Amino acid sequence: MITNLESESWLQLLAAHRAIAVIRSYSLELSFAMARAVAAGGIKIIEITWNSSQPATIIQQLRSQLSHCTIGAGTILTQQQLKEAMAAGAEFIFSPHVNPALIDAALKANISIIPGALSPTEIVTAWQAGATCVKIFPVQALGGASYIKNLQSPLGQIPLIPTGGVTLENAREFIEVGAIAVGLSSQLFPQSLVAQRNWQAIAERAKTLYQQLQ
Residues 6+ apart with CB under 8 A from 6: 110, 112
Using alpha carbons, select from 112, 110, 118 the residue that is nearest to residue 137: 118
Strands 19-23, 182-184: pairing kind: parallel
* CA trace torsion 69, 70, 75, 81 (10° rounding): 120
Residue 57: CB atoms within 10 Å: 15
**Partners of 113 in the beta sheet?**
93
For the chain, the first-to-last Cα distance in angstroms comes to 21
pLDDT in tens, 29-53: 999 999 999 999 999 999 999 999 9
Where in the sequence numbering do the catalytic residues fall?
A: 47, 135
Give me the pLDDT at residue 5, please. 61
Angle at 38 between CA 34 and CA 44, to 5 degrees: 125
> Given phi > 0 = left and psi -120 to 50 = alpha, else beta, which region is 34?
alpha
Question: Percentages helix, strand, coil for the chain, rounded to the nearest 5?
Answer: 50, 15, 35
The DSSP annotation for 125-179 comes to HHHHTT-SSEEETTGGGGTTHHHHHHHHHHHTTS-EEE-SS--TTTHHHHHHTT-
Give me the pLDDT at residue 93, please. 98
- Regions of the chain with pLDDT less than 50: 1-3
Give me the pLDDT at residue 8, please. 82
Residue 36: which H helix or E strand, with range?
A: helix 28-40
Give me the pLDDT at residue 6, please. 67
Q: Is the pTM of this model over 0.75?
A: yes
Give me the pLDDT at residue 214, please. 87
Domains and CATH numbers, the chain: 7-208 (3.20.20.70)
